[in-house]
Structure 1
Amino acid sequence: MKAESAAQARLLDLQGLDTELQRLGHKARTLPEAAEAAELKKRLDRLESELIAAQTRVGDAERRQRKAEADVDQVRARADRNTKRMESGQITSAKDLQSLQSEIASLGRRQAELEEAVLEAMEHTEEAAAELARLKAEREEVLSGHTAAVARRDTAAAEIQWDRERVTRDRERVVQEIPEGLLAFYEKLRDQYDGVAVAPLRYGRCEGCKLALSTVELNEVRAAAEDEVVRCENCRRIMVRTAESGLAAKAEQ
C-alpha cells in the first residue's frame, strides 16, 4: 500500500485519539464512583428487606403483648368480682365460700403467670422496636451515602462524556486528512490487533510490540520508498517512520 508520509504521520495522531477513546471508555465502565454507588444500592436493598421483616416482628410482638395484657385484665376483673361477692356477705354457705376463696387464689396464681408473660412480651417488643430503630438509622445513613455516590458518579461520567465528545470531534477532523483506502486498512488492523493498528518506529524499535528490529529488517525499512506503508514483521502493525526512527543515523555509518 502507498500513502504520503504526511498521511501516515496522521495515522499516529488518529491512533492516539482512538487509544484515548478506548481509555475513556474503559474509565467510564470502571468508575469507582459507579462501583461504590452499586454496592451502596445493594446494601440499601438488603436493608429495605430487613426493615420489612423488622416491622413485621414489631407488629407481632405488639400483638402478643396486647393479648397478654388483655388476658391479665380479664383474670384481674374476674378476681375482683369474686372478691366483691365474697366481701358482700351474700354468700352464706361455707362450701360456696370455700369454693370462691379457692377460685380467687387460683385466679391470683394465674394472674401472676400472665403478668410474667406480659413482662416477657414487653421485653420482646422493646427489643424488636430497638432493632427496627437501628435499621432505620442505618438505612438513612446508607441512603445518604448512596445519594452522594450517585452524584459523584454522574459528575465523573459527565466529565468523561465531555472528554469523549471533544476527542471524537478531533478524530473527525483527522479522519478527513487520511486517504480512504489507508483509513480502511487502519480500521481493519485495529479490529485485528486489540485497537492498536499503527505505531511509530523509534530508535530501531517498533512501539507497537516493543521489539527491536533486526539489522536486516531495518535495512528493508530504510530501503522502502517514502510513500510505502511498512509493517512490523513481528506484530504486523503499520510502522510509521519518524525523525526518531534511527534510520538516518544508520545510513551515515
Structure 2
Amino acid sequence: MNRLALEQLFKLQEVDTRLHELRTKLASLVETSGQKAVAGDVRALLQSQKVMNSKMETLVSRRDELDEHSRALMAKVKNIRAKEMSGAISHRDFASTEAEISHLEAQRAELDDAEFEVFSQIELLESQTQDLEQSLSQKNTQLSELKQMNSGVANGLNAEIASLEDRRSELLGLIDVDLEKIYEEIHARVGSMTIARVENGNCQGCRLKLSSVEIEGVKRTLAHEFSRPPTCEQCGRILFI
C-alpha cells in the first residue's frame, strides 16, 4: 500500500458517493415526483366511484319499485272507474267505491312524492358522479404523464449507475485487496467519507484537531509503503494529507 493507492481510494469514494445519491434518488423517484400521491388520489376516487355506483343502483332500484307500485295503483283506479262507467257498481256501493278510489289516489300521491325525492337524489348523484369522473380522468392523465416522465428519468439514472458500477470495478482492480477490505469495513461503519483529508490540522470527517505529532506521523506513513493506512483516532476514517 502507498500514497497512490489512497488516491485511487478517493476516486472510489467519489464513485460510491455518487452511486448512493443516484440509488437514493431512484428509490424515492415515485414519491418525490408526486406519482405516489397522485396514485393515491386515483385509488381514492375509484373507491368513491364504487360507492356512488352502488348508491345509484340502490336509488334506481327504489325508483323502479315506486314506479311499478304507482302504475299498479293507477291500474286499480282505472279498473274501478271502468266498472262505475259500465254500471257494474250499484248505487249502494258507489260511496264505498269512491272512498276506495280516494284512498288509492292518496297512496299514489305519497308514492309520487317519494318518487320525486328519489329522482332528485338520482339527479344530484349523477352530477356528483360526472364531477368525480372528470376529476378521475384528470388524475389518470396526470398519473400517466408522471409515469412516462419517471420512466425516462429512471432510465437515465440506471444508465449512469451502470456506468459508475463499471468504473467502480475498474478502480477496484487498481486497489490492493487488503486496502479494499479496510475501506469496505470503515465504509460500513461510518457510512460516508471513508477517507478524509486533513486540512488546517483537522480531520474533515469528524473535525477532530490533530496534534502536530499526529500530522507528522500521517505524513511519514504516507511517504513510504505501509501495511495499514493512517486513521483518525476519533472517527476511524482513513487520513490523507
Task: Provide TM-score, normalisation by structure 2.
Answer: 0.90
Partner residue, 1:240: 240
Asked whether 1:185 is paired with 2:182, we answer: yes
Q: 1:112 aligns with which of 91, 94, 109?
A: 109
Shift of 1:35: 5.6
The equivalent of 1:67 in structure 2 is: 65
Q: Secondary structure at the match of 1:212?
A: coil
For residue 34 of structure 1, report the CA deviation from its aligned partner.
5.5
Alignment of 1:1-253 (within 5 A): 3-31=1-29, 36-91=34-89, 93-224=90-221, 226-227=223-224, 228=226, 229-241=229-241
2:206 is paired with a residue of what secondary structure?
coil
Distance in 1 separating the partners of 2:222 and 2:58: 88
Native 8 Å contact 2:30 2:36 kept in 1: no
Cα displacement (A) at 1:223: 3.9
Q: SS of the residue aligned with 1:199?
A: strand
Contact 1:12/1:200, CA 8 A, preserved across alignment: no
For 1:119 and 1:100, the matched residues in 2 are separated by 28
Deviations 1:32-62 (A, max 9, x none): 6566222222222222222122111111101
Q: Report the identity percentage.
A: 22
Deviations 1:98-151 (A, max 9, x none): 222222222222221111111112112222222222222222122111111212
Contact 1:33–1:152 at 8 Å: present in 2 too?
A: no
For 2:87 and 2:235, how far apart are their aligned partners in 1? 115
CA contact (8 A) 1:34 1:150 kept: no
Alpha-carbon contact 2:80-2:101 (below 8 Å) kept: yes
Instruction: State the number of aligned residues.
Output: 238
Tell me, yes or no, if the aligned pair for 1:34 and 1:153 is still in contact at 8 Å.
Answer: no
Give the whole-Å Cα distance in 2 for the aligned partners of 1:225 and 1:73.
102
Report if aligned partners of 1:21, 1:164 keep a CA contact under 8 Å in 2.
yes
How far off is 1:63 after superposition?
0.9
- Residue type matched to 1:176 in 2? G
Give the residue type in structure 1 aligned to 2:208.
L
Instruction: Quote the offset at 1:205 in angstroms.
Output: 2.4
The residue type equivalent to 1:109 in the other structure is A
| CA distance in 2 between partners of 1:105 and 1:33 (Å) | 67
Q: Are the equivalent residues in 2 in contact too, given 1:199–1:238 (CA < 8 A)? A: yes
Cα distance, 1:12–1:86 mapped onto 2, change above 3 Å: same
Contact 1:68 1:121 in 2 (8 A): no
Gapped regions of structure 2 (runs ≥ 5):
none
Measure, in 2, the Cα distance between the counterparts of 1:118 and 1:125: 10
Q: TM-score, normalised by structure 1?
A: 0.86
Runs of 5+ unmatched residues, structure 1: 242-253
Deviations along 1:128-187, one digit per CA (max 9) or x if unpaired, are: 222222222222122111111212222222111111111112212221111222122211
Kept in 2: contact 1:33–1:150 (CA 8 A): no
Q: Is the 8 A contact 1:40 1:146 kept in 2?
A: yes
Which stretch shows the higher mean deviation, 115-124 or 195-204? Answer: 195-204
